[in-house]
Amino acid sequence: MPWTPSLSVGVDRIDEQHKTWFDKAEKLFEAGRNKESKQYIGELLEFLDSYTKEHFADEEKYMREINYPEYEQQRKAHSAFIAQLSDLRENYKTSGGNLLVIINANKMVIDWLTKHISTMDKKIGEFANQNL
C-alpha cells in the first residue's frame, strides 16, 4: 500500500508525515506476508502512538494557523483515532498479539490512511490553496 501523489494533501509537511505513515503500514503488510506480523505489531503500535500524536499536533497547529473552518471535525476525528489506537494497544498487551489484534491493526491503518487522508485531510490542502 504505497503512498501515491493522488493522496497528496498539497501541504508539504503534512504530505511528508503521511508518507512516513504509509511506509510503516507497508512494513506491517510485508511482515504479514512473511508471517512476522506478531513480532512487528508491537513495534508498529509503539510507533503509531508517538508519531500519530506528533502528526496530529502538527496538523492541528497548521489548521489553526490558516483558520481552517473544519478544524473541530478534524480534532474530533483525531481524538477518536487516538482512543481507538489506545484500545488496540491494550488488546495487544492483554492478548499477546493474537491474530484478531493483527487484523484489527491492519484494518484500522488501512481505513485511516485511505478514508481520512483522501477525504478530510485533502480538504485542508484545498482550503489552503484557495485561501492563502
> Which pTM was predicted?
0.83
Query: So what's the pLDDT on residue 40?
Result: 75
Task: Please name each of the domains of the chain with its CATH number.
Answer: 10-131 (1.20.120.50)
DSSP 40-100: HHHHHHHHHHHHHHHHHHHHHHHHHHTT-TTHHHHHHHHHHHHHHHHHHHHHHHHHTS-HH
Query: So what's the pLDDT on residue 37?
Result: 67
Residue by residue, pLDDT tens for the chain (132 residues) are: 678 888 899 999 999 999 988 888 787 777 767 777 666 777 777 888 888 899 999 999 999 999 999 999 999 999 998 998 888 888 888 877 676 777 777 787 788 878 888 889 999 999 998 987
